[in-house]
Amino acid sequence: MSAVIALFADLVGRLADLLQPLFQASAAAAAIVLFTALVRLLVHPLSRAAARGQRARAALQPQIAELRKKHGKNPERFQKALMELHAKEKVSPLSGCLPSLCQLPAFFLLYHLFSNTTIGGEANELLTHTLFAAPLGERWADALRDGGVLGAAGLVYVGLFVIVTGVAAFNFRRSKRMMAGTAASASVVSAPAAGAPGEHQQVPGLASVMKVMPFMSFLTLVTVAVVPLAAALYVVTSTTWSAVERAVLYRDMQAPATAL
């Protein structure tokens, strides 16, 4: 693991050297943004595949609704039938998670790189780099301690929080539209009593999940606040990329997927 971190440190250092004439003291921060963009470009084919999978799952909604009507009172039978349907149609319900999972190694490399004071037995020189006045190896708590919210380093975090909040609000609206679009198909129809219409019931626990999901985007604010600034830059860049990417990939769908 230490050898991998050392190689990664060398890569970030080389990128920073290339960007030095343009970004001066913030060259390492710019290198992290560039590195994040390169990772997202590599993951983009998986994102496109996830979009195709989302469209395929949307096309299965009528069949899924029929399964809910048939097995609405037996959740285990419904889940088994749903898995069989996905297997028959060659649709993976987990394909949307692959882009996020593939990015985790890059995020953890950045986290460890800027959390260690030494690399390969030598001082970690990357910790001397900054984004404007904020050191890349420090956290929001350090900025608050050194100058407060409106201090030089604190203002860097204010800028990041503004970006993340804007992206989260955008994802929140898209997630709400998705939940509204799928609420009807998530209901099951129970057998009607004599002379009475069928009664629509929610799948157990679904209502609570649907209430919470739109707010998940705002958890990125917590991540940005507690990880080293370098890792926070990765999160902000990747989250913004995801919002734009999914707005494009899912533009022709009524219920686009939410961002990671």
DSSP line for 166-219:
HHHHHHHHHHHHHHHHHHGGGEEEPPPPTTSPPPEEEPTTHHHHHHHGGGGGGH
Taken in order 24, 120, 43, 50, the sign of the CA dihedral is negative
DSSP 92: -
Lowest mean pLDDT among 17-31, 52-66, 81-95, 220-234: 81-95
Strand partners, 134: 131
Predicted local distance difference test score (pLDDT) of residue 245: 92
**What value does the mean pLDDT take over residues 55-65?**
77
pTM over 0.85: no
- Please provide the average confidence, as pLDDT, over all residues in the chain: 81
Predicted local distance difference test score (pLDDT) of residue 188: 40
- Comparing 77 with 162, the larger pLDDT belongs to 162
- Comparing 140 with 185, the larger pLDDT belongs to 140
* C-beta contacts of 163-167 below 8 A and 24+ residues apart: 163/236, 163/240, 164/220, 164/221, 164/224, 164/235, 164/236, 164/239, 165/218, 165/221, 167/217, 167/220, 167/239, 167/240, 167/243, 167/259
What's CA 239's distance to the chain center, in Å? 6
> Per this entry, what is the length of the chain?
260
Predicted local distance difference test score (pLDDT) of residue 110: 92
Taken in order 87, 90, 91, 97, the sign of the CA dihedral is positive
- Comparing 228 with 198, the larger pLDDT belongs to 228
Predicted local distance difference test score (pLDDT) of residue 211: 63
- Reduced to 3 states, what is the DSSP secondary structure of residue 135? strand
- In 3D space, the residue among 54, 39, 124 whose CA is nearest the CA of residue 94 turns out to be 54
Instruction: Answer whether 124's CB lies under 8 Å from 9's CB.
Output: yes
Q: How confident is the model at residue 168 (pLDDT cuts 50, 70, 90)?
A: very high
Instruction: Answer whether 73's CB lies under 8 Å from 189's CB.
Output: no
Lowest mean pLDDT among 67-76, 172-181, 183-192, 201-210: 183-192
Taken in order 112, 114, 117, 121, the sign of the CA dihedral is positive
Q: In whole angstroms, give the CA distance from residue 216 to residue 144.
A: 25
Q: How wide is the angle at C-alpha 37 spanned by C-alphas 45 and 115, nearest 5°?
A: 120
Predicted local distance difference test score (pLDDT) of residue 101: 85
Q: Residues with Cβ < 8 Å from 221, sequence gap 6 or more?
A: 161, 164, 165, 168
